[in-house]
Structure 1
Amino acid sequence: MSQFSRRQFLVTALASAAVASCTRQNQSRSNISTTASRIVALEWVYVENLLALGIQPIGVADIRGYKTFVDIEPKLAESVVDVGTRQEPSLEAIAQLQPDLIIGTQLRHETIYDALSAIAPTQLFNPYPDSNTLSQFDEMQQTFRAIAQRVDRREAGETVLRQMQDTFQAASDRLRSSKQNTRSFILGQFNEATPQIRLFTDDAMAVQILNQIGLKNAWKGQLDRFGFNTVGIEAFPKIEQASFLYIAGENNTHLKQLRENPVWKGLKFVQEQRLYPIGAETWVFGGPKSAQLLVEKVTATLTEK
């Protein structure tokens, strides 16, 4: 920073946070009152939400990662400033942008909430609520509406959600007419970093979205806060009757190796050609636009064969 050192900044930020509010709840209520326009988003789902509402954030955590994994329109403007990683955003970079709102997650940013709030009013959401009280899909919509209200785009927000539901209805009708909604599915995700595969559970938002179009999840693994279990090939024989939807690039190293595995080759969904790729850039932790894109991709791949 140009006027004072990093240490001075951190000391000032923390001191200001202590003065500004006795509790996080009171600070949120007292500081977040006016319409925000200069917004820093520290998690990709909130970047997506702002773009869906017609707002370009001024700062985003891990822009490169966002552009790699989140494939929605409109795109992020080249003028948006990268403010570090999602897990450890740069307080200095955020402060230099002089935002009037910072949006993050409880999971990543709870520990720096006071420092963030000293820079600008800060809202932290929880995309992974207790599944007994609120589903991930419902939380996504609830948070989207909260952000729309905060930026005075409530009507635009409801339009986006209606478009999402219209896409769901059209997909449901298409799958029903093609009789592709009669077989259960499993949803997997391959990662270059590990040979193991993520299988999404019933408490995952992606599964809840696919339930909306009439598909039923065959994977009944242990429910997990993040909505998936990490498994090896030994998990698949029990669910080989289902169709396998998967997220991976065609050049994924572990997917290539799996195709040469005798156990894999013997699975019924492999032998019966019920393997359905939906692309490596399919983001299953996003907002309404990503939900819409997921449904479009799943419907297309299930009905084109």
Structure 2
Amino acid sequence: MRKPHLVRRVVPAALLTASTVLLAACGGSGTDDAADGIVRSTTSVAGAGVLGNARDTENVCGPTAPVDPAGVTGSTRKVVHAAGETEVPADPQRIVVLDTDKLDTVCALGLQDRLVGAAVTGAVGSQPEYLGPTIAGVESVGTVQEPDIEKIATLKPDLILGSKFRTPELYQQLSAVAPTTFTEKVGTTWKDNLLLDGTALGRGAAARQALDDYQGAATATGNTLDSSQTQASVVRFMPGAIRIYGPDSFSGQVLADAGVQRPTFQRLEDAKDKRFAELSEEQLSNAEGDVIYVSFYGDEARGQGVEVMKGGLWQGLGAVKDKRVFAVDDEIWMTGIGVIAARDILSDLEASLNGYVN
């Protein structure tokens, strides 16, 4: 494994200020975890530096993108999607989304004020914080696995964005409520999903521009960081499980777009499913990398993950010994699966890829 350029990065003043304010507000001392095993530190999680403390969520959603006239007939446009063809409003006004990538896309295209409902992930139970206060106030319509159709109907949407992967059996019921489009998969096809959902929202050209801008930013980030010299490991703690994420995962694709290399095991070259693989604690050597990014899916997983990270097998990893482990926001690296989340991952790389934990 090639070693990265281990340059001690100077932490930006804004990051230090934000961390100091948060610690003062909590009366904290910067220690890793509380007696109950749930990590609440703003600067360190079981020895891992925490990224994203200074992230701006106040103005994260974009301005309203202009309506794309392509394909419009009268007041509607026909959209071909994973469940068929649907006539949708040319410029929808009341939008319900049933997966996190669609929430990210609506925000990126500046249509956040038109959201009347959104499904949430089960382990978190609320709208993702990284998308800011406007999205935080959007009404829940159940979970991405079990949307509440009766609740959705009361909101009188004129467009529903859903996923064939999540709820293929609900398409007819949702279509009876409002015009509905489905994407095929989740995560692996996030770029295609952005373009399809953008088209359904009447902003296909703006979605393409957002994707092109991201691709340019990813290339520039990789060149600036000389990212091809580093192998990054991505580890996620789930309730009762440990996963490493491979090249077909959302975060894995963003790393690849930025030219970041992956440890041999995490390339999952012989696996049928290259999104992720589960590890036992005895297999933690497969989590090794020049740098390790760690996330936690909910508080239960966070408590379990902290215990693993305190253990001897984790502490024996080279990246842990060299203080090159960083805790990242699960809502961004794992469940965001949209262009705003992707750009936030690039920001995390800029803050950490060649640096030490202070």
Q: TM-score, normalised by structure 2?
A: 0.66
In structure 2, do the counterparts of structure 1 residues 243 and 42 end up closer, same or farther at CA, with 3 Å as the change threshold? same
Moved more, 142-151 or 272-281: 272-281
Tell me the equivalent position of 2:145.
Answer: 87
Q: Offset of 1:61 from its aligned partner?
A: 1.3
Question: Displacement of 1:141 after TM fit?
Answer: 1.8
In 1: Cα distance, 2:352 partner to 2:247 partner: 21
Asked whether the 8 Å contact 2:81–2:182 carries over to 1, the reply is no
SS in 2 for 1:98: coil
2:118 matched residue in structure 1:
60
Q: 1:26 to 1:112 in 2, by over 3 A?
A: closer
Does residue 162 in structure 1 map to residue 162 in structure 2?
no
SS in 1 for 2:93: coil
TM-score norm. by structure 1 comes to 0.76
Deviates further, 108-117 or 275-284: 275-284
Q: Which moves more between the two structures, 146-155 or 53-62?
A: 146-155
Higher mean C-alpha deviation, range 57-66 or range 100-109: 57-66
CA distance in 1, matches of 2:254, 2:87: 34
8 A contact 2:243–2:276 mirrored in 1: yes
State the Cα deviation string for residues 265-298 of structure 1 (Å, max 9, x = none).
Answer: 2222222323232234434241111111112112
Structure 2 equivalent of residue 270 of structure 1: 320
Alpha-carbon distance in 2 for matches of 1:30, 1:185: 42
Partner of 1:44: 100
Q: CA deviation at 1:199?
A: 0.3
Partner residue of 1:148? 198
- Find the residue that maps to 2:332 and give its secondary structure: coil
2:223 to 173, 188, 194: 173
Q: How many residues align?
A: 267
Distance in 1 between residues matched to 2:236 and 2:136, nearest whole Å: 28
**How far apart are the structure 2 equivalents of 1:25 and 1:200?**
28
Is structure 2 residue 243 aligned with structure 1 residue 198? yes
Equivalents in 1 of 2:345, 2:129: separation in Å?
A: 11
Provide the rounded CA distance (Å) in 1 between the counterparts of 2:151 and 2:320.
49
Residue 76, structure 1, aligned to residue 140, structure 2: no
Decide whether aligned partners of structure 1 residues 299 and 25 sit closer, same or farther in structure 2, where only a CA change above 3 A counts: closer
Change (3 A) 1:49 1:108: same
- Tell me the residue number matched to 2:179: 121
Moved more, 26-35 or 277-286: 26-35
Other structure's SS at 1:303 match: coil
What is the aligned partner in structure 1 of residue 258 from structure 2? 213
- The unaligned stretches of length 5 or more in structure 1 are 1-23, 130-135
Greater relative contact order structure (CA < 8 Å, 6+ sep)? 2
Q: CA deviation at 1:232?
A: 1.9
Matching residue within 177, 189, 196 for 2:236 = 189
3-state SS in 2 of match to 1:142 = helix
Q: What's the offset of the Cα at 1:223?
A: 3.6
Q: What's the CA shift for 1:190?
A: 1.8
Partner SS for 1:29: strand
| SS of match in other structure, 2:248 | coil
| Counterparts of 2:126 and 2:83, CA distance in 1 | 33
8 Å contact kept, 2:126–2:136: no
Deviation at 1:115, TM superposition (A): 0.9
Task: Give CA deviations for 1:85-117 in whole Å, capped at 9, x if unaligned.
Answer: 222212211111221111111122211111111
Is there any run of 5+ residues in structure 2 with no aligned partner, and where? 1-79
Identity %: 24
Name the CA distance, whole Å, in 2 between partners of 1:248 and 1:113: 31
Which secondary structure does the structure 1 equivalent of 2:353 belong to? helix
Give the aligned partner of residue 305 of structure 2. 255
Change (3 A) 1:216 1:226: closer
Match of 2:285 among 212, 217, 237: 237
Q: Deviations over 1:108-150 (max 9, x none)?
A: 2211111111111111112348xxxxxx2xx222221222222
**Separation in 2, partners of 1:198, 1:63:** 18
Q: Does structure 2 retain, via aligned residues, the 8 Å contact 1:43–1:104?
A: yes
Three-state SS of the structure 1 residue aligned to 2:166 is helix
- Asked whether the equivalents of residues 200 and 227 of structure 1 are also in contact (C-alpha less than 8 Å), the reply is yes
Shift of 1:52: 0.9
Superposition RMSD in Å:
2.9
Indicate the SS of the match to 2:85.
Answer: helix
